[in-house]
Structure 1
Amino acid sequence: MTEYDYEDLGLVAGLEIHQQLDTATKLFCQCPTELRDPEEATRSFTRYLHPTRSELGELDQAALEESKVEREFEYLAYDSTCLVEEDDEPPHELDEEALETVLEIAQLMDMSPVDQAHVMRKIVVDGSNTSGFQRSTLIATDGEIETSEGAVGIEDLMLEEESAQRVEETDAGVRYSLDRLGIPLVEIGTRPDISTPDQALEAAERIGMLLRSTGKVKRGLGTIRQDVNVSIEEGARVEIKGVQSLDDIDDIVRNEVARQVELVEIADELTGREASVGDVQDVTEVFEDTDSGVIAGAVNSGGAVTAVPLFGFDGLVGREIAPDRRLGTEFSDHAKRHGAGGIFHTDELPAYGVTEDEVDALREAVGAGPEDAVAIVAADTDVAEAAIDAVAARAETAMAGVPEETRGANDDGTTRYLRPLPGAARMYPETDVPPVEPDPSDVPEPELLTEKVERYQAEYDLGEGLAEQVAYGEYMPLFEDVVADGISASDASGGSSDSSDGVDPTLAATTLESTLTELRRDDVAVENLTERHLTDVLRLVEDGDLPNEGVPDLLTALAEDPDRTAEEAAEDAGLGGADEAEVREAVVEVVERNEAQVEDEGMQAFSGLMGECMGALRGKADGDLVSQLLREEIQKRA
């Protein structure tokens, strides 16, 4: 990939980070924030959504374009789904736990809370919200984070409700699940202070670290999403939605810069050629006897083949503007928005069953010469007409350069067209929720993860690598609970215990990070283990009822049957701690069975016999005790 001089290009970028908060209930109702399996749905209902005008009578263009595609939205509901989620009851007051969490985040970014927070409605008609809008509240402004390439300003911090989860496309439209709808979501928007792809990644990493430092954000795939705004001086602002992996941000920025550079060069070339876009035409007759499966399928089912001549576009529709994406791919994205499977164009034909004679006939039918290109769509008549109109409109903008638009992030670091950029007309006040006055005075400032790493090393004597794994890992809050002096670890996870001593920090850290990672690699269903399971296993070791070596076997047993308690699983698996007499008996048996080897090798036999002893004890004894007794028995016979 070409590495550009980003300063020379005038690269300007900004981030929008969306992070789910780990609260007990949703933002505007008392429903739980746990995700459900769609198979657990107890019923469903359908809606059709349409854009509404703002208070000034304006229609948002992004919502208007979305509404042109007629779709039915089906929503899966559960035994926990309430009337607020179904939009059959007004929202309740803003969740206090969510508000307190975003105020903590605001402190970490040196932001100023607003005097009064008003809930707003943001029009969304893609079906991701049953109401047709998302509720969003400005909580704080004017913050800043530091990067190695300079400070990045934080424009605003919003508290929003998460959208419904898309389950699948259906013949009629889209199926959504209501389990995710309404989970509190913080949106952090930076100023356009980012000037390189590497700085974009560093800023996102810094914000991610600050969010996790609260210990009150959800973890896992889909709980955090990054949007990136990118422009170059001769290009235009493009908003890229849904970057799932933080590690992709720098590649997303690089590829978008490259795309805009190529589009600017294509526009210059088209200007030099005095290019233009011709009239849309029906060219079905050209393909009446075609061998192309796609085109024949459309024609034989009563559909149509529509075309638009692109005068002066020859060789440019097939020009690559991003990895494996061409200008023709951009045209195809717009056609797909109207239900077409894609487009064909003469820069790639003859191919796909389309013959050279058919290409010549196509050019003749629309009046295109060798210096021109032609794009076609084959589909149901209405779809073909709407799709080719969209292609013609996108070709017009290609002559102007880079269009302002919203794009979606692909897994390979490229992007695809979604819709026009939204405008101010999509926002208007929510009249069902009273305003709140944020009070940061009683909100403690969280300890940064970087500070936790240093404290874990100093206070718990953890190595730097292990301390960093724990601090940045998903089990950090549990680690802090179980090692805290004077806090019952079982109480911290919802159980009860007579002990008030914390668990050994090294044991807790290695179990929560190393042991669980190893079990996951061995295909153990670690996701079945609850915090209560983990806490009780650690407590058994701490109380001397389970040797360290028995932890993996006990966790595996609990993962296979999570309905049991740790004590029950340990007893069933025979993993209780053996006393010294039992351990010595097992060691003596192993030594006597290998008496000849011991007499011949002496202490050199230790390593091989140690493994045999541990296997005989099956996790019932601590390795240090086994080692001590084995050495004693070998020395007696050596």
Structure 2
Amino acid sequence: MTDRDYDDLGLVAGLEIHQQLDTATKLFCGSPTTLREPEESDRTVTRFLHPTKSELGEIDEAALEESRVEREFEYLAYDTTCLVEEDDEPPAEIDAEALSVAMQIANLLDATVVDQAHVMRKIVIDGSNTSGFQRSTLLGQEGEIETPDGAVGIEDLMLEEESAKRVAETEEGVRYSLDRLGIPLVEIGTKPDVSTPKQARDAAERIGMLLRSTGAVKRGLGTIRQDVNVSIADGARVEIKGVQALDQIDEIVALEVDRQAELVGIAAELDERDASVAEPTDVTEVFEGTDSGVIAGALDDGGAVHAVRLAGFDGVVGRELQPDRRLGTELSDHAKRHGAGGVFHTDELPAYGVTESEVAALREAVGAGAEDAVALVADDPETAELAIDAVAERAAVAIEGVPEETRGANDDGTTRYMRPLPGAARLYPETDVPPVELDPADVETPELLTEKADRYAAEYGLDPGLAEQVAYGRRMPLFEEAVEAGVDPTFAATTLESVVTELRRDDVPVEDLTDGAFLSTFELVEDGDLAKEGVNEVLATLARNPGLTAEEAVEEAGLSGVDEDEVREAVAEVVERNAEQVETEGMGAFSGLMGEAMGALRGRADGEVVSDALREEIRKRA
């Protein structure tokens, strides 16, 4: 990642945050919002999707490109799947719970809620929705959040249905799961007010905190996704989809700036060279009898090799734009969209079994000179032709500069081409769902997590760090319920955060612990039936044996309480074993013997009781 002057480059960025809501049912039907395992599916649905014209008679360019790739979409359905999800009946009215949560979010974003919510259809033909479109509703506009580097405006707040979950690639196309389709989702779009990678991350963190403050959003991998729009002064707007890790946003923005800056430089160099792109041609004869495994494999299956001369591109196709991603990688991304495995080009040849003499023959076949590059694709004849045409189109764009497009985020912070930017032609009204009158006064604005953490520290005397952990944690509602029931706040907070973390590190399946398991364990401690020191073991037992009650887990773990006489007896034995140390050190031996005494009692006695007994026994011996 290069250090750059973002002001000088004219960096402009904005965010789109997509967050699933934790409602009881889906947005347009009564199906539950719980996820299922693919093996639980009891039937499948198959669809072929095609683009349609908008009300203005236009076809969206992104949808049109998707349609050029002929694919079958298979959907896994379940006993909880409704007919709306299968696209076999019209949607019901918008879920009232989802509307209420979304309006809370609008209030937190300081956004103006619209008078009426109108549902729109947004064309999506990548298979992620059985109907070929996503239902989306504008709820709020013109909000604002604060970041350390200044305010960031909120363009809009949308309430949408979540897409189906991609499960696998098949020989015919793509397999999706319908368990996720239709889960209520809010999309928050900021204005292009972000001017540094750090501010992009700060803005995303602020929005994430506001969302979690509602206590009504889903948590975990895949429940929140960040898209980032990035451009520089001489570049173009690029939408980067599917950023799952919050701590990766600043790196992704910085690497996209690098990519655009490199492409701007390449365009200037190609202009000086008077670069151009020739018509692709079939060069199969050049590679007859080749030792290249990839090319030979394609030809053995009746395939062909197609190539294109890139005049003035010599040395440019191999130019790095991002770590391990070059202009040639961009050409390859476009070829892959049409089913090709990838692209070879002369900046990297001879290699991959392609010989120097084959490179020379290739150059001659397409009329390439010393300053030219050649790109080629080997595949079945139709795929090879479509793929090389896509390569030629992308190379021609490189002469102009940075293309507007949608890109996907990679795990290493780099990005890959997905499709052209969508336009307004993909939206049209949903006629099956009536408008809804909205009144933001009907919902209360929730307490912010930052405010909640401060309150926990002040009201319950929690350490500020622990207070923040609990406030931001998934079990915050459980903490409040436990404290309301009379559980010591520090004990409850420490158990729900520190103890659970320790158990997770020991491979205990803490995700199987229910709220009831915690509350019943807390009750045993409060009633004196379980020492605090035994909580870890009881919770571990409950996690591994979800059918047990807390009382049964205490028995299973061998932690049934001991009376005071048994404590004194166990402590006396510890002191007797260490009599010489006690006589020498007196009360100085206390710390070492305390651990041994607790170990002897295995968490069956409260630490304070053991401590008192040990001090008394040492005084007798000293």
TM-score by length of 1: 0.96
Q: Structure 1 residue 21: deviation in Å?
A: 0.7
Partner residue of 1:536?
Answer: 520
Letter in 2 for 1:378: A
CA contact (8 A) 2:586 2:619 kept: yes
The superposition leaves residues 571-605 of structure 1 with CA deviations (integer Å, 9 ceiling, x where unpaired) of 22222333323322322233334445434543343
Aligned residue pair count:
622
SS of 2:417's partner is strand
The residue that corresponds to 2:320 in the other structure is: 320
Q: Secondary structure at the match of 1:574?
A: coil
Percentage identity across paired residues of the two chains: 76
After superposition, the C-alpha distances for 1:273-295 in whole angstroms (9 at most, x for unaligned) are 11110111111111111111111
Q: Aligned residue for 2:589?
A: 605
After superposition, the C-alpha distances for 1:89-147 in whole angstroms (9 at most, x for unaligned) are 21111111111111111111111110000011111111111111111100111101111
The equivalent of 2:556 in structure 1 is: 572
**Counterpart position of 2:282:** 282
Q: Give the Cα separation in 1 of the matches to 2:261 and 2:29.
A: 47
389-398 or 67-76: bigger deviation: 67-76
SS at match of 2:176: strand
Could you tell me which runs of 5 or more consecutive residues in structure 2 were left unpaired when the two chains were aligned. none
Note the 1:506-525 alignment, pairs <5 A: 506-525=490-509
Shift of 1:535: 2.1
Q: Hey, what's the Cα distance between the residues in 2 that align with 1:175 and 1:538?
A: 45
Secondary structure at 2:294's aligned position in 1? helix
SS of alignment partner, residue 63 of structure 1: helix
- Per mean C-alpha deviation after superposition, the further-off stretch among 436-445 and 273-282 is 436-445
Q: Hey, what does 1:24 align to over in structure 2? A: 24
2:235 matches 1:235: yes
Q: Does 1:57 align with 2:41?
A: no
Mapped to 2, the partners of 1:560 and 1:597 lie a distance apart of 41
Partner of 2:529: 545
Q: For 1:459 and 1:527, how far apart are their aligned partners in 2?
A: 29
My pick for the range that moved more, 227-236 or 562-571, is 562-571
Q: Does the CA contact (< 8 Å) of 2:20 and 2:223 recur in 1?
A: yes
Does 1:632 pair with 2:610? Answer: no
Give 1:131-146 correspondences, 5 Å limit: 131-146=131-146
Q: The residue matched to 1:125 in structure 2 has which SS?
A: coil
Q: Does 1:505 align with 2:462?
A: no
Aligned to 1:226: 226
Question: 2:541 touches 2:556 (CA, 8 Å); kept in 1?
Answer: no
Deviation at residue 334 of structure 1 after TM alignment = 0.2
1:213 aligns with 2:197: no
Matching residue's letter, 1:294: V
Name stretches of at least 5 consecutive residues in structure 1 with no aligned partner: 485-500
Do 2:17 and 2:226's aligned partners in 1 also have CA atoms closer than 8 Å?
Answer: yes
Q: 1: distance between equivalents of 2:136 and 2:565?
A: 66
Aligned mates of 1:28, 1:196 — CA distance in 2 = 39
Could you tell me which amino acid in structure 2 is paired with residue 622 of structure 1?
D
Q: Deviations over 1:157-190 (max 9, x none)?
A: 0001111111111121111111111111010000
- For 2:302, what is the secondary structure of its paired residue? coil
**What amino acid maps onto 1:455 in structure 2?**
R
| RMSD after superposition | 1.3
1:614 paired to 2:598: yes
Pick aligned residue for 1:584 from 563, 568, 571: 568
- 1:297 matched to 2:287? The reply is no
Deviations 1:525-579 (A, max 9, x none): 1111122212222222222221111111011101111122222212222223333
Alignment of 1:419-434 (within 5 A): 419-434=419-434
Give runs of ≥4 in structure 1 deviating > 3 Å: 592-602
Q: Distance in 1 between matches of 2:565 and 2:433?
A: 69
C-alpha separation in 1, matches of 2:376 and 2:551: 69
Distance 2:587 2:471 in 1: 42
Deviates more, 1:623-632 or 1:360-369: 623-632
Residue 203 in structure 1 maps to residue 187 in structure 2: no
Q: Which amino acid aligns with 2:351?
A: A
Q: Deviations over 1:444-500 (max 9, x none)?
A: 11111111111111001011111111111111122122212xxxxxxxxxxxxxxxx
Per the alignment, residue 37 of structure 1 pairs with 37
Q: Name the CA distance, whole Å, in 2 between partners of 1:67 and 1:82.
A: 27
Q: Distance in 2 between matches of 1:582 and 1:91?
A: 67
2:456: which partner in 1? 456
Q: Distance in 1 between matches of 2:3 and 2:446?
A: 39
Find the residue that maps to 1:399 and give its secondary structure. helix
